[in-house]
């Protein structure tokens, strides 16, 4: 994905986008994971407008995106060797590191927490934007704070058109959206907390993603732990998140088939059309009010296509979406995390 020269039109567009960021405005941009809603990480007013646009609570931290050449010590109070090793292995790429925040970086970017989340994306448009933006800063250090460019709790955008659809209230003049094609990873970055090593608390996996626990363990020599009550807050770790509007259930295949075939009258008479997403061609394709969608059996391909599929199904007027439960293996950890939280949004507690 790196190394492709950008056209002069794209260059001019990126310079304009960087100027808009420097003026405190928001710019949505592509990354390899999902599209981000960016603002100047050192401008608390820009961060406040990100929160306002997303409808997100102000105590939720946002990730600061930096160019590959960025000086991480400008953003982090300390950079432990574990962080250096992970950056060396996975940056640029879909890994966010939580480190102690440098004192001069506004607390607004981390929702008042003493940490900062840092990520260097690999998407060429994201990198070029970050470079242009850093050039506009007197000290050459510029960071773009960006959550996923969706309304709070909703499905993250993997195409520029998804971003446009998420913010109908913002005109093109108010929100510039950079086109960067479909996101290749498709789900949000892996987040590893390294902010509490000084207190004797080892690396913690706050959010699973494309970079797996096993890959992190191979670099650090230790599996990242599970979040404890004092771990930094991650909004993506809320039990219910990443949800479409249509009620979604996650079911083992037998239960899904029972729901569809065992209760056809119920499905067809009272519930409207149902979308069933399964790994293999269904035994009986034409069945009542059910539309079958066969999904990828490779977890990376599934992840890449997941959010676009959920958005597509959301627009078809289905009364329910039924997803076949993927294998509960490490390779599927990130996908299971996202679809589990999406389904949890529809379980009344
Ligand atoms: O792949 C991604 O990470 C995408 C793209 C745009 O980079 N961004 C993304 O942002 O998913 P968002 O805000 O939707 O999720 C970022 C997560 C949130 O759950 C937030 O709580 C956590 O990162 N986070 C950010 N800074 C943090 C910090 N200082 N401490 C703890 N968690 C932090
Ligand atoms: Mg998000």
From the CA of 53, how far away is ligand 1's center (Å)? 16
Q: Is 61 in the pocket of ligand 1 (CB under 6 A)?
A: yes
- Whole-number pLDDT of residue 234: 57
- Whole-number pLDDT of residue 236: 55
Atom of ligand 1 nearest to the CA of 62: 25
Tokens of 92: 């640029």
Rounded (5°) CA angle 221-225-229 = 155
Please give the domain boundaries of the chain with CATH numbers for all domains: 8-220 (3.90.870.10), 248-344 (3.40.50)
Residue located nearest, by CA, to atom 7 of ligand 1? 36
Distance CA(250)–CA(240), nearest Å, equals: 13
Q: Is 98 in the pocket of ligand 1 (CB under 6 A)?
A: yes
Cβ contact 168:188 at 8 Å: no
Q: Is 127 in the pocket of ligand 1 (CB under 6 A)?
A: no
- Whole-number pLDDT of residue 269: 47
- Give the H or E element holding residue 29: strand 26-29
Residue located nearest, by CA, to atom 17 of ligand 1? 234
Sheet holding 320-324, edge to edge: 248-251, 320-324, 274-278, 290-294
Q: Is 62 in the pocket of ligand 1 (CB under 6 A)?
A: yes
Distance CA(53)–CA(74), nearest Å, equals: 28
- Whole-number pLDDT of residue 227: 83
Residue located nearest, by CA, to atom 29 of ligand 1? 116
Tokens of 36: 């981000």
Among 60, 147, 180, 243, name the best residue to mutate to test ligand 1's pocket (greatest count of ligand atoms within 8 A of Cβ). Answer: 147
**Residues in Cβ contact with 2 at an 8 Å cutoff, skipping those fewer than 6 apart:** 92, 122, 124, 127
Q: Is 93 in the pocket of ligand 1 (CB under 6 A)?
A: no
- Whole-number pLDDT of residue 268: 45
First to last CA, the chain: 43
- Whole-number pLDDT of residue 238: 59
Q: Which residues of the chain have pLDDT under 50?
A: 1-2, 265-269
pTM: 0.94
From the CA of 233, how far away is ligand 1's center (Å)? 10
From the CA of 242, how far away is ligand 1's center (Å)? 13
């Amino acid at each position: 994905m790196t190394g492709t020269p950008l056209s002069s039109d794209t260059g001019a567009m990126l310079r304009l986008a960087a100027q808009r960021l420097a003026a405190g405005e928001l710019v949505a941009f592509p990354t390899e994971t999902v599209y981000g809603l960016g603002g100047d990480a050192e401008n608390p007013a820009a961060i406040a407008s990100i929160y306002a646009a997303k409808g997100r609570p102000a105590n939720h931290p946002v990730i600061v995106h930096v160019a590959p050449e960025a000086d991480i010590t400008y953003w982090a109070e300390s950079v432990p060797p574990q962080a250096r090793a992970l950056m060396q292995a996975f940056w640029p790429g879909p890994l966010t590191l939580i480190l102690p925040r440098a004192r001069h970086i506004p607390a607004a970017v981390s929702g008042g927490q003493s940490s900062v989340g840092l990520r260097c994306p690999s998407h060429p448009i994201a990198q070029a934007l970050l470079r242009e933006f850093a050039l506009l800063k007197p000290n050459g250090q510029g960071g773009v704070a960006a959550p996923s460019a969706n309304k709070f709790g909703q499905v993250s955008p993997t195409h520029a058109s998804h971003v446009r659809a998420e913010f109908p209230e913002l005109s093109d003049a108010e929100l510039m959206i950079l086109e960067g094609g479909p996101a290749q990873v498709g789900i949000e970055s892996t987040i590893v907390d390294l902010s509490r090593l000084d207190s004797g608390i080892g690396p913690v996996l706050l959010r699973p993603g494309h970079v797996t626990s096993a890959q992190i363990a191979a670099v650090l020599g230790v599996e990242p732990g599970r979040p404890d009550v004092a771990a930094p807050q991650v909004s993506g770790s809320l039990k219910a998140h990443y949800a479409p509007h249509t009620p979604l259930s996650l079911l083992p295949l037998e239960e899904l088939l029972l729901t569809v075939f065992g209760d056809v009258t119920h499905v067809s008479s009272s519930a409207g059309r149902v979308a069933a997403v399964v790994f293999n061609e269904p035994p009986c394709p034409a069945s009542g009010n059910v539309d079958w969608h066969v999904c990828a059996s490779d977890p990376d391909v599934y992840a890449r296509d997941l959010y676009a599929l959920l958005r597509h199904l959301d627009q078809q007027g289905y009364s329910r979406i039924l997803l076949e439960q993927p294998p509960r293996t490490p390779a599927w950890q990130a996908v299971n995390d996202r679809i589990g939280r999406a389904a949890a949004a529809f379980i009344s507690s």
